[in-house]
Amino acid sequence: MDRFSFLNAAHTAFFADLYDQYIENPDSVEPSWRSFFQGFDFGMQGNGYETLDVEQPRPAAQPVSDYSGIPEKLQKEFKVLNLIEGYRTRGHLFTKTNPVRDRRIFTPNLSLETFGLSDADLDTTFDAAKEAGLQQATLRQIVDHLRKVYCQHIGIEYMYIRDPEIRKWIQNRLTRNDNQPDFSADQKKGILSKLNEAVSFENFLHTKYVGQKRFSLEGGESLIPALDALIESAAEKGVEQFVMGMAHRGRLNVLANVFGKSTSDIFSEFDGKDYDDDALFDGDVKYHLGLTADKKTKSGRQININLAPNPSHLETVGAVIEGIARAKQDRYFPDDFSKVLPIALHGDAAVAGQGIVYEIVQMANLDGYKTGGTIHMVVNNQVGFTTNYLDARSSTYCTDIAKVTLSPVLHVNADDAEAVVHAVLFALDYRMEFGGDVFIDLLGYRKYGHNEGDEPSFTQPKLYKIIAKHKNPRDLYAEKLIASGVIDDKFTSKLEADYKAVLEENLEASRKKELTIISPFMQNEWEGFAQADADEMLKKVNTAFSKEMLDEIAKTITELPADKKFIKKIQKLINDRKAMYFETDKLDWAMAEMLSYGSLMTEGYDIRISGQDVERGTFSHRHAVIKVEDSEEEVILLDTLKDKKGKFHIFNSLLSEYGVVGFDYGYALASPKTLTIWEAQFGDFSNGAQIMIDQYISAAEDKWNNQNGLVFLLPHGYEGQGAEHSSARMERYLQLCANHNMYVADCTTPANFFHLLRRQMKTTFRKPLIVFTPKSLLRHPLVVSTAEEFANGTFQEVLDDPAADTKKVKTLVFCTGKFYYDLIAERENLKRDDVAVVRIEQLFPLPTEQLKEIIAKYPNADDYVWAQEEPRNMGAYSHMLMNFNEVKLRLASLKAYSAPAAGSYTRSKKRHAAAIAMVFDKNLFN
């Protein structure tokens, strides 16, 4: 019997469905059909077309060398199915998406011959058309449909998505109107109006402020109607808050024509006027500023839109807006994240070249960082400053990062405003349906150089000859609408004249203003908070907490559920905590930390902690999350507090510093009543987030008027663990300190740490807090405090020597952190009662007046020492020299080194001992 005779009775529609089922899951079809499809795939590969890969492993296909038994019509149906898959998989490579350059040539192409078909088949009717969303149709009709859907001004990549339901949804969505825009006359006029605003705004600035940098949107103006349509449509779907981040290109246009920022204020910024604020604010260039606005949509819906400020590190803000969005979701919509929409605008060179993008993308589906889907829009200029795209990436597209999370990508011709809006609405529908990321590659050009004073023809002479002759998107669209009878030839002129008249009026008004007004960012969240200078930061804050309530918290966090089984070490640890609180009254660092969180939660503050391994703690001290032994069920004792008013969130982060710090900074920016903490695995790992530290943590309040209370916990201390596990690089933070920008602390007692964390929430202002936390001191027998010190104390910026006889002391030593315990151990060993050791618990703002009072208490001291375990070119020595000149400080430290510590434990111990010895012998020095 003919081995393919079973095919003769098969209806091709049934076959098409079966083949589609095979593609999704080979094991789901009957074995003889699976064998046939495997052979067919093998045979089709010989025609230069790669068949769609499938998830499940399959046995090696045997080549089918004899198709004589298969009906010819059925063979053609196979080939048409492969043609459809070819357009779905590779159609984006053959689109008309580049307005100023020819597309690169990719092989194999989508010709009929690639799939074993020919022009002779064009008028043949195929049942396989149903796979493309058609009824039975000719090959000519099928190809025409596929070209409209996949190869016009919108190209889409999605076939790598593994979920068949998502692929099917996309395919159904694309076949609607052949993936072509279908807007009413009024909608088209609306698009043209927003395009006119975008074009006219840039033209106005170009003529009024000749040669000034503005990083214009020209070449990508269709972004403005796209964002307008996105916000309007999202509001109709229930989105109430929008959080947007973007670099400087096009920012002024977005601020004016999407966010509604007063162009009068923008003109004042161009005129370089001083700010209406006092000395607490220095400001930033106009194309870095952010804005928050409450708006009404055209349909009357009230929405809140935010554009976060951003430095010149282009993609940095992407992490920040995700944190802002998550904070808003946690606060306002914990059960429906879809109501807050993050929108990230990228540049093509930046989205492909900056590693922060990968870190952000990897957050998209993680419990601690997900935001229900972000719409990413790339304003693709096809050049980064002076670098051509072929030198800017190895990937085919700048958006190939999207494939990490299997997110669909739409490539759109920026000259076709309707296609751009159509693509954005698709992206919105996808995000609202699946809660996932989606990318839009808006392929345009940059009319001028990197800034308006640059000459782009130096590096792209051919491209800029084309651009110089190219019409702007508004004029192209107006011509299209005139040709179709939607508008007459006077419509656009009137739009332009009316908009320009408003700009002229606002320019005249701005010239009458003496100062520039900077609009506040997220003012609703920051109601009731005031900015503070260094004097205010040094004032004492009441951080006391009821002993009775502290007892209740301690009871809750020292009792494990009786009905669950835990490993013995965990049971012992929790029992030890119970004993230290209720029996010995010697509370360690971990207990102080947990009690501080519990106390704040009872007062209505939320807690968010993230970072690498924070749930247990790198040094196995925290154990905020405990696992049941058999099931690995998570138990969080702080969640069981009876009277808590706040929530406790703690998340082990992905192995990222830059992205996670950016996210947590954004979270703290949007939620000042949450104690937001990022902990480094080791202190110096924060150097992976140095851009965030330099551009946001230390400078954002000065540049953008943005307060932020993010806490850094940075394990620090020299225990002979080598260069990477010793120093948190405190010198870098201290060098960034100025005026009133942040707190820097290095606590030595659990009680002081308890009050420090509470102070962070109890002030009426917010400052970033950098805490150099201990490693070996976590379990040091002397590093304990009493419950009474927690209940009735307050944060102490300086701790005087409790054991010193002030009249006997001749050498007064100042130090921070762990080194204190090393020094007093040596003092006891040497039996020296003429040496006092004073701990500076807060390095910035430096408590100068308190230090003066302490110095006055030691009338016979004539030797003043700054002692540190870090090399002399590191640590706090230079900070003390610059900020404290009441006495001349003799230095006791290691020599200057390029690495923070030696790799050899023996060498480290020897150097450490030498630094200690210098404290007690003024004749020794490095």
Q: Could you please report the per-residue DSSP string of 188-251?
A: HHHHHHHHHHHHHHHHHHHHHSTT------TT-TTHHHHHHHHHHHHHHTT--EEEEE--STTH
Closest CA to 921 of 855, 854, 832: 832
pLDDT of residue 50 exceeding 60, the answer is no
| 411-436: pLDDT as tens digits | 999 999 999 999 999 999 999 999 99
C-alpha 563 chain-centroid distance: 40
Q: Which residue's structure tokens are 């700054």?
A: 866
Q: How confident is the model at residue 25 (pLDDT cuts 50, 70, 90)?
A: confident
Q: List own/partner pairs for 113-119 with CB under 8 A and 24 or more apart.
A: 114/47, 114/48, 114/49, 114/86, 115/44, 115/47, 115/49, 115/79, 115/80, 115/82, 115/83, 115/86, 116/44, 116/47, 116/79, 116/82, 117/76, 117/79, 117/80, 117/83
**Token couple for 769:** 């807090």
* CA distance linking residue 716 with residue 726, whole number of Å: 6
- In the structure, what pLDDT confidence band is assigned to residue 454 with cuts at 50, 70 and 90? confident
Strands 634-635 and 626-627: antiparallel
Q: Cα-Cα-Cα-Cα dihedral of 300, 301, 304, 305, to 10°?
A: -70
pLDDT greater than 70 at residue 65: no
467 contacts 447 by C-beta, under 8 angstroms: yes
And the tokens for 473? 């998107």
Rounded to 5 degrees, φ, ψ at 264 are: -60, -40
Alpha carbons 590 and 700: distance in angstroms, whole number = 31
Distances (CA, A) of 788 to 163, 409, 586, 746: 58, 59, 10, 22
Q: Which of 445, 441, 439, 432 is nearest to 412 (CA)?
A: 441
Furthest C-alpha separation in the chain: 114
Q: In the predicted model, what is the mean pLDDT of the chain? A: 91
Question: Among the listed ranges 43-47, 206-210, 389-393, 844-848, which one has the minimum average pLDDT value?
Answer: 43-47
* Chain mean position to CA 220: 24
pLDDT of 794 > 50? The answer is yes
Say which DSSP state 582 is in: I
This prediction has a pTM of 0.92
Closest by CA position to 357, among listed 764, 1, 658: 658
14 pLDDT band (50/70/90 cuts)? low
pLDDT at 302: 97
Q: What six digits make up the tokens of 349? A: 């060179």
- pLDDT number for residue 17: 67
Q: How many residues does the chain have?
A: 926
Instruction: Look at the block and give the residue holding tokens 């609408």.
Output: 481
- H/E element holding 700? helix 700-704
Phi, psi of 410 (to 5 degrees): -115, 125
Res 2: pLDDT: 44
Task: Determine the Cα–Cα distance for residues 175 and 168; give it in Å rounded to an integer.
Answer: 11
Share of residues in the chain with pLDDT > 70 (%) = 93
Contact 341/243 with Cβ under 8 angstroms?
Answer: yes
What mean pLDDT do residues 698-719 have?
A: 95
pLDDT of residue 713: 98
Q: Is the pLDDT of residue 48 over 50?
A: no
Look at residue 64 and tell me whether its pLDDT is greater than 60: no
- Rounded Cα distance between 7 and 33, Å, is 9
CB 386 within 8 A of CB 450: yes
pLDDT score recorded for residue 40: 59
Higher local confidence (pLDDT), 26 or 189: 189
Q: What is the mean pLDDT of the segment spanning 559-578?
A: 95
Among 248-252, 337-341, 555-559, 610-614, the least confident range: 248-252
DSSP state of 806: T
pLDDT reading at 172 higher than 80: yes
pLDDT of 61 reads: 37
Q: How confident is the model at residue 925 (pLDDT cuts 50, 70, 90)?
A: confident
Encoded amino acid at 904, one letter: S
What is the predicted pLDDT for the residue at 451?
82
Return the closest-CA partner of residue 393 out of 442, 346, 354.
354
pLDDT of residue 35 exceeding 70, the answer is no
Q: Rounded to whole angstroms, how far apart are CA atoms 468 and 138?
A: 44
What are the C-alpha distances in Å from 290 to residues 137, 251, 705?
Answer: 53, 9, 10
What is residue 17's three-state secondary structure?
helix
Q: What is the 3-state secondary structure (H, E, C) of 444-505?
A: CCCCCCCCCCCCHHHCCHHHHHHHHHCCCHHHHHHHHHHHCCCCCCCHHHHHHHHHHHHHHH
**Residues 256, 260, 265, 267, Cα dihedral to 10°:** 20
Task: Region of 831 please: left (phi>0), alpha (psi -120 to 50) or beta.
Answer: left
Q: How far apart are CA 691 and CA 317, in angstroms?
A: 11
Q: State pLDDT tens for residues 132-149.
A: 999 999 999 999 999 999
pLDDT band at 475 (very low <50, low <70, confident <90, very high): very high
pLDDT tier for residue 4 given thresholds of 50, 70 and 90: very low
| Interstrand relation of 769-773 and 743-745 (parallel, antiparallel or unpaired) | parallel
462 pLDDT higher than 50: yes
Element (H, E) at 678: strand 674-679
Phi-psi region of 522 (alpha: psi -120 to 50; beta: other; left: phi over 0): left
Residues 790 and 753: their CA atoms lie apart, in Å, by: 10
Q: What is the pLDDT of residue 280?
A: 64
* 53 vs 894: CA distance, rounded Å: 61
Which amino acid is residue 595, in one-letter code? L
**Per-residue pLDDT tens for 297-336?**
999 999 999 999 999 888 999 999 999 999 999 999 999 9
Which of 388, 387, 378, 371 minimizes the C-alpha distance to 357? 378
Residue 52 has pLDDT above 70, yes or no: no
Which tokens is 530 given? 């005031």
Kindly report, residue by residue over 731-762, the tens digit of the pLDDT: 999 999 998 999 999 999 999 999 999 999 99
Tokens representing 105 are 């040539």
Q: pLDDT digit string (tens) for 806-842?
A: 999 999 999 999 999 999 999 999 999 999 999 999 9
pLDDT beyond 90 at 288: no
Residue 242 neighbours by CB under 8 Å, 6+ apart: 231, 234, 303, 304, 305, 306, 340, 341, 343
Looking at per-residue pLDDT, the higher value among 634 and 68 belongs to: 634
**Strand 648-652 to 674-679 pairing:** unpaired
pLDDT tens for 183-226 read 999 999 999 999 999 999 999 999 998 888 888 999 999 999 99
pLDDT at 852 over 60: yes
Distance CA 919, CA 148 (A): 80
